Amino acid sequence: MIEVKNLHKGFGDVKVLKGITTTFEAGKTSLIIGQSGSGKTVFLKSLIGLHEPEEGTISFDGRINTEFTIEAKRQWRQEIGMVFQGSALFDSQTVEENVMFPLKMFTKKPLDEMLDRVNFVLKRVNLEDSNKKFPGELSGGMQKRVAIARAIVMNPKYLFCDEPNSGLDPQTAIVIDNLIQEITDEYKITTVINTHDMNSVMEIGEKILFLRNGKKAWEGSSEEIFKTDNEAVVSFVYSSNLFKKVREAYLNEKS
C-alpha cells in the first residue's frame, strides 16, 4: 500500500501539487486522470522519488521514502517497476537483454537464473518466442508487453505506468489494460497508472483519482464515476457524445 498525506510540490513560485491525500492499495489498479497541467506527471514522479515533496509524506507499506537510508532507498528502488510512455526499450539490445537489464543492474544472480526469470516473465506477457528479436522488429503492442515484462522481472511490490496505452489502437490498448490488471491481481502489486484513456478508466479503474489544478477533486471506482454528480469529473470524463450515451445507458439501467 502507498499512502500519500498532504503532498505539496512546486517549482519556484509555481505550486503544482496542493495538499493531495490518498491511498493506493495492493492488488488494485489505481488510475490518475485529469487535464493536461493538472499535476498528474509531477504527482507520479513524486511517487517514484524523482521529486521530493516540499510538504507532506509518501509512505510505502509504512515506510516514508524521504526517511530512507542510502541502503533502504536502494532496496526500495528494487521494489519498483516502471512502464514508460514510449516503452523506453534499448533499440540496440534484444528483447531478452532489455528484460534482463534490471537483473544485471540490481542482482548478482548467475546467468542461468536470470535467463529463467526472463523466460518466465516473457511467457507471462505472451512473448515467449521473442527473446532474440529487437524492438524495431516488434509492433507497438508487443513493445509495451516487453516493457511490462521488464517492469515485473524484479517481482516488484509497486508498479507505475505512464500512459501505457499511448500510441496503441483501441483493441491493443484493451489487451495491455487486461494484462496490467491480471498481473496486479495475480502478484498483489500496488499499481498506479497515469492515463488519458477513458476506456482504461471504465475497464480497469478499481480506484480513480481525479486531479484538478494540483488538488484531489474526486476519487472513487469505475462504477462510482458513472454515478457521480461532480461537475468537473462529468465534464472531463464524459466530454464525448459516445461516453455521454454510455453513462446515460448505465444510469437508465440502474434506475
**pLDDT tens string 84-97:** 988 899 999 999 99
Residue 227 lies in a domain: no
* Nearest Cα to Cα of residue 150 among 110, 204, 114: 114
Select the more confidently predicted residue: 65 or 160. 160
Residue 101 lies in a domain: yes
Calpha distance 157→161 (Å, rounded): 14
* Nearest Cα to Cα of residue 9 among 39, 34, 29: 39
Range from 95-99, 129-133, 140-144, 197-201 carrying the lowest mean pLDDT = 197-201
The CA distances from residue 127 to 83, 173, 178, 182, in Å, are 17, 17, 16, 16
pLDDT at position 255, please? 66
Residue 234 lies in a domain: no
pLDDT at position 252, please? 80
Query: pTM of the full predicted structure?
Result: 0.91
Instruction: Please count the structural domains in the chain.
Output: 1
Q: What is the mean pLDDT of residues 146-173?
A: 93
pLDDT at position 176, please? 92
Q: How confident is the model at residue 245 (pLDDT cuts 50, 70, 90)?
A: confident
Residue 228 lies in a domain: no
pLDDT at position 202, please? 85
- On the question of pLDDT at 28 being above 70, the answer is yes
Calpha distance 27→181 (Å, rounded): 9
Residue 194 lies in a domain: yes
Residue 217 lies in a domain: yes
Residue 21 lies in a domain: yes
Q: What is the mean pLDDT of residues 217-231?
A: 89
User: Domain of 124: which CATH number?
Assistant: 3.40.50.300
Side-chain half-sphere exposure of 51, counting CA atoms within 13 A? 20
Task: Look over the chain and give the mean of its residue pLDDT values, rounded to a whole number.
Answer: 92
- On the question of pLDDT at 207 being above 70, the answer is yes
pLDDT at position 227, please? 85
- Show contacts of 36-45: CB within 8 Å, 24+ apart: 38/211, 38/212, 38/213, 38/214, 39/211, 39/213, 39/214, 40/194, 40/211, 41/162, 41/194, 42/9, 42/16, 42/17, 43/7, 43/9, 43/17, 43/211, 44/160, 44/162, 44/192, 44/194
Residue 33 lies in a domain: yes
pLDDT at position 249, please? 78
Calpha distance 55→165 (Å, rounded): 32
pLDDT at position 219, please? 95
The boundaries of the domain holding residue 136 are: 2-222
